[in-house]
């Protein structure tokens, strides 16, 4: 055997071994991603079978038995009380576990994109449900995925790896609280379009991530829950990566939580901000379009009051804008986790936190002395301010309703949608 033939054989053998390793790595990555997708699709189908307040402890046990290899809970788990979580992740999306040695090597040497070239993605899907008094009262699902970087060791953040996350969960009240700080600030006005759900995103997540949370009422029709949580798990197996929230959750297309500068993902350069004078404020939603029952469901407190007197006051900071203050007498406390700070008979100021001119032009209901109203005061859900008996009644622009038999029936309908479990 000549030296040349020997060298050729060695090169061919080395090339064959290399190609075999590449093929095996490709198959391993693809099998992992497709198995994750297969499991996630089946877990989501199981979650869509849950009917809140109807699915029983036996239904929950079947889910725990089926997904026990990926499930967990803290403390005890009984028919009386149990919160059970399920996590499906690939090797890259480690959470409570120690990452494998090969992943540590890739991260240390900044070579994670080698894994991504074979179709690998940091991918995860999670689900949870809460059992209370023998039936399932709460549920949630979430999906996350990484978007591969474009270049190795780039100093430009637009080439860095970033992530997408979307989640959906049930709540008895759709109101921003300390536990739900990113619930969209559209307030009651958003209920005119979607009385059963609200959406939110953190204000700081724009460059290396996009995050969207969906908060839906525990009384939302099952078909709507399914629409709000129908994730596209093809993002786990696509070679062309999913780059927008709407790729993960098609229902997010209508929300526009990330502006046009981010429609192709955070890697798109952000245009310069326009002067404030170029923006026009949207026309306020008519308060009559907001279902009273939805407001009553989400309210922390509800009071029946009688307007005594009104006056227009000037803003102390700008000395230009005006607002309307009304002196009211509390007639009755209709709702609250405990007796409201404002007891029946108390006389307090009512401030709707809206500039008087805006409220007047939008045709909102005005408090007229001598008439009775139902108001939804802003409670201390965010734990930022202490609400006491001396605090003024503050409420959103549409937080005032006339005290009529029809409104009372709608209010009671909303109260009936609350339960004793928090949140």
Rounded CA-CA distance 195/210 in Å is: 25
For residue 402, the cross-strand partners are: 373
Strand intervals (E) in 113-158: 123-132, 135-147
- Answer whether residue 108 shows pLDDT above 70: no
Question: Residue 319: which domain range?
Answer: 287-415
> Residue 30 to residues 34, 40, 66, 124, 195: CA-CA distances in angstroms?
6, 15, 24, 15, 42
Asked, for residue 6, whether it belongs to a domain, the answer is: no
- Which run of H or of E encompasses 216? strand 209-217
| Residues 328, 242 share a domain | no
The candidate with the shortest Cα–Cα distance to 83, out of 26, 20, 137, is: 137
Q: Report whether 415 contacts 163 (CB < 8 A).
A: no
Is 101 in a helix, a strand, or coil? helix
| Residues 384, 350 share a domain | yes
Here the CATH number for the domain that contains residue 311 is 2.40.50.120
Cβ count within 10 A of residue 379: 19
Q: How many domains does the chain have?
A: 2
Asked, for residue 2, whether it belongs to a domain, the answer is: no
pLDDT of res. 78: 97
Compute φ and ψ for 204, nearest 5 degrees.
-90, -5
pLDDT of res. 101: 56
| Residues 298, 336 share a domain | yes
Asked, for residue 272, whether it belongs to a domain, the answer is: no
| Residues 50, 89 share a domain | yes
| Residues 295, 255 share a domain | no
215: Cβ–Cβ under 8 A, 6 or more apart, which residues? Answer: 168, 169, 171, 174, 180, 183, 197, 198, 199, 200
Cβ count within 10 A of residue 172: 20
Of 262, 279, 310, the position where a domain reaches its end is 262
Strands 209-217 and 197-200: antiparallel
pTM of the model: 0.82
> How much is the mean pLDDT over the chain?
80
Compute φ and ψ for 260, nearest 5 degrees.
-60, -25
Asked, for residue 5, whether it belongs to a domain, the answer is: no
| Residues 188, 327 share a domain | no
Tell me the per-residue pLDDT of 197-219, one tens digit each, with 9 for 90 and over.
999 888 766 667 889 999 999 99
Asked, for residue 230, whether it belongs to a domain, the answer is: yes
| Residues 292, 226 share a domain | no
Asked, for residue 421, whether it belongs to a domain, the answer is: no
Asked, for residue 281, whether it belongs to a domain, the answer is: no
| Residues 189, 96 share a domain | yes
| Residues 226, 292 share a domain | no
Q: Report whether 294 contacts 302 (CB < 8 A).
A: no
| Residues 250, 298 share a domain | no
pLDDT of res. 206: 63
Least confident of 224-228, 246-250, 347-351, 361-365: 361-365
């Amino acid at each position: 055997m000549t030296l040349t033939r020997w060298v050729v054989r060695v090169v061919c053998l080395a090339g064959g071994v290399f190609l075999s390793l590449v093929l095996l790595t490709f198959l391993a990555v693809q099998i992992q991603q497709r198995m994750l997708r297969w499991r996630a699709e089946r877990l989501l189908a199981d979650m869509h079978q849950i009917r809140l307040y109807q699915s029983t402890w036996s239904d929950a046990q079947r889910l725990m038995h089926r997904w026990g290899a990926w499930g967990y809970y803290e403390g005890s788990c009984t028919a009386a009380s149990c919160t059970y979580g399920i996590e499906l992740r690939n090797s890259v999306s480690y959470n409570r576990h120690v990452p494998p040695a090969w992943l540590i090597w890739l991260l240390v040497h900044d070579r994670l994109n080698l894994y991504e070239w074979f179709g690998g993605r940091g991918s995860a899907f999670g689900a949870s449900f809460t059992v209370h008094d023998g039936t399932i009262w709460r549920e949630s699902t979430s999906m996350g995925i990484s978007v591969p970087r474009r270049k190795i060791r780039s100093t430009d953040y637009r080439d860095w790896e970033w992530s997408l996350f979307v989640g959906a969960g049930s709540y008895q009240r759709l109101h921003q609280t300390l536990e739900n700080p990113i619930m969209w600030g559209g307030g009651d006005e958003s209920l005119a379009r979607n009385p059963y759900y609200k959406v939110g995103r953190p204000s700081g997540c724009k460059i290396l991530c996009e995050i969207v949370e969906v908060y839906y009422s525990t009384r939302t029709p099952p078909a709507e829950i399914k629409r709000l949580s129908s994730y596209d798990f093809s993002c786990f197996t696509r070679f062309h990566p999913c780059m927008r929230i709407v790729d993960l959750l098609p229902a997010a297309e209508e929300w526009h939580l990330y502006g046009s500068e981010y429609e192709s993902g955070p890697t798109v350069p952000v245009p310069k901000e326009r002067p404030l004078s170029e923006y026009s404020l949207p026309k306020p939603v008519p308060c009559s379009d907001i279902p009273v029952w939805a407001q009553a469901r989400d309210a922390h407190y509800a009071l029946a009051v009688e307007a005594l007197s009104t006056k227009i006051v000037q803003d102390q900071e700008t000395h230009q804008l005006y607002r309307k203050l009304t002196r009211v007498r509390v007639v009755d406390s209709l709702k609250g986790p405990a007796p409201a700070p404002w007891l029946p008979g108390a006389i307090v100021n009512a401030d709707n936190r809206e500039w008087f001119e805006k409220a007047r032009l939008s045709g909102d209901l005005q408090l007229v002395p001598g008439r009775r109203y139902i108001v939804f005061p802003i409670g201390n859900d965010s734990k930022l301010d202490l609400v006491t008996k001396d605090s003024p009644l503050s409420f959103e622009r549409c937080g005032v309703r006339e005290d009529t038999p029809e409104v009372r029936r709608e209010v009671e309908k909303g109260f009936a949608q609350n339960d004793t479990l928090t949140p």
